[in-house]
Amino acid sequence: MRTPPLKRRAVGFGLVVVALSGSMVGCASSGDDTGQASGGGTYTIWDPYPQFEGGSAWARLLDKCGSGAGVTIKRTGYDTSDLTNKALLAAQQGNAPDVLIVDNPVVSTLAQAGVLTANDETKIDTSAIEPNLLGAGRIGGKTYGIPIGANTLALYYNKAVLKSAGVDAASVKDWASLTAALAKVTAAGKKGITFSAIGTEEGSFQFLPWFWGAGAGLTRLDSPEGVSAVSLWTDWVKKGYAPNSVLNNTQTTSWQEFATGKFAFGENGTWQLANAEKAGFDYGIIPIPGAHGGTAPAPTGGEFVTVPVQRKTGRYATSEKITACLTSTENLYTTDTTLSYIAPTNAVQTRQVAATPGLKVWVDAVHAAKARTGDDLGTKYPKISQPMWTAVQAALSGSKPPQAALSAAQSTAAAATR
């Protein structure tokens, strides 16, 4: 089964290693002589939406924004991983696109490599954007680009399974009440919860709401709070509340398990809403609870619209106009609805909930969400994430107890991020 593009963008940033000699700051240019400060000419846009062909609503929007800025748009859609590589190489070769739309955790990589222009130079206005969603674009005291939308994680639940076990979804407020619900469900002969704990970034993406929801921080993986999060998952597997298959589950296979109708809960994201409607059973959605209540911070997925460094800085004014058009209130509403994203501004979120009240739980989850590369972690994040998912795998498989697994992970992460 083909991995859905939205799901890949949500977690699949896999920071690439490209052989680049020295800093690339200031070496990029548009590669042609058109489009000076006076406007006109052709502007290039690269995005991670290859599924949208010419004539699609997305392609028409790009053309509309180009026309509004007085230029012609030349657009190319790449797969996410290809786009990152091509952006780095294009900057090295001096032919970066004018506007680049990338998965949000990649922003720190490109900014640190000198590929992107900071907003204080491009004049991109982010004043209406939810502050937590800007986190992925903040590096070294500067902000790069603007989010076009966000997705994140919550808990889907099967209403019939909960009802048969005498569980009210509204009673799930924290870890204790969720674990109690799982105990009732399994005692009634049903299955508890499924999630993805695979040894890749997808596993870290799904683990982070529990890790952050315990109050843990990525700079100290083996804190008591971090250990409690790994212990929670480990106990669920030991008691049969979660299946052993979580060790190998991607978010897609985890969804497929939930879609059998046998599980009470499934951790997944906004990108599964269309599939949920086709599941054939009544479902609901609740936020992932924090250890002691409230909504746990889940990681944000989604893209940023950024402006790569150009030799001809006069092009930035037109690139800003294109970016402002793509992220305007009207265009965000249409685009984010199409992409199953929650908008990055309160005004558009309000419109989304008014049109589809069921989106409120996702809006609440996005309000509580955090950027994986936030807190100025930037390119340190993948060096922390890999030891973290390795520790989760070790604990769930029983090869190491949670404390030992996270202590080893912290040693590895600390050495890698010095």
What residue type is 194 in one-letter code?
T
Please answer whether residues 249 and 198 qualify as being in contact, where contact means their C-beta atoms are separated by less than 8 angstroms. Answer: yes
- Tokens of residue 18, six digits: 């490209």
HSE-CB for 271 with a 13 A CA cutoff: 21
Phi and psi at residue 370, in whole multiples of 5°?
-135, 155
Please answer whether residues 196 and 249 qualify as being in contact, where contact means their C-beta atoms are separated by less than 8 angstroms. Answer: yes
The reported pTM is 0.88
| Domain boundaries of the chain, sorted by first residue | 5-151+301-368, 153-298+377-416
Query: For every one of its 418 residues, what pLDDT tens digit does the chain have, with 9 covering 90 and above?
Result: 333 333 444 444 333 333 333 333 333 334 444 444 446 899 999 999 999 988 999 999 999 999 999 999 999 999 887 899 999 999 999 999 999 999 999 999 999 999 999 999 999 999 999 999 999 999 989 999 999 999 999 999 999 999 999 999 999 999 999 999 999 999 999 999 999 999 999 999 999 999 999 999 999 999 999 999 999 999 999 999 999 999 999 999 999 999 999 999 999 999 999 999 999 999 999 999 999 999 999 999 999 999 999 999 999 999 999 999 999 999 999 999 888 899 999 999 999 999 999 999 999 999 999 999 998 899 999 999 999 999 999 999 999 999 999 999 999 999 999 9
pLDDT score of 375: 87
Pairing type for strands 263-269 and 191-194 reads: parallel
Query: Within 10 Å of residue 19's Cβ, how many Cβ atoms?
Result: 7
Please answer whether residues 365 and 287 qualify as being in contact, where contact means their C-beta atoms are separated by less than 8 angstroms. Answer: yes
**Total number of residues shown for the chain:** 418
Is the domain covering 153-298+377-416 a CATH 3.40.190.10 domain? yes
pLDDT score of 337: 86
Pairing type for strands 263-269 and 153-158 reads: antiparallel
With a CB cutoff of 8 Å and minimum separation 6, the contacts of 247 are 197, 198, 393, 396, 397
pLDDT score of 81: 76
SS3 label, residue 50: coil
Rounded to an integer, what distance in angstroms lies between the CA atom of residue 20 and that of residue 361? Answer: 43
CATH architecture of 5-151+301-368: 3-Layer(aba) Sandwich (3.40)
What residue type is 330 in one-letter code?
E
Q: Of 389, 353, 402, 339, give the one whose Cα is nearest residue 150.
A: 339
Rounded (5°) CA angle 314-316-320: 145
- Tokens of residue 81, six digits: 């991983």
SS3 label, residue 100: strand
- Tokens of residue 12, six digits: 């699949």
- Tokens of residue 327, six digits: 């992220």
- Tokens of residue 133, six digits: 């969603």
Confirm whether 5-151+301-368 and 153-298+377-416 share one CATH topology: yes
Rounded to an integer, what distance in angstroms lies between the CA atom of residue 119 and that of residue 144? Answer: 5
Rounded to an integer, what distance in angstroms lies between the CA atom of residue 124 and that of residue 11? Answer: 26
Rounded to an integer, what distance in angstroms lies between the CA atom of residue 346 and that of residue 133? Answer: 12
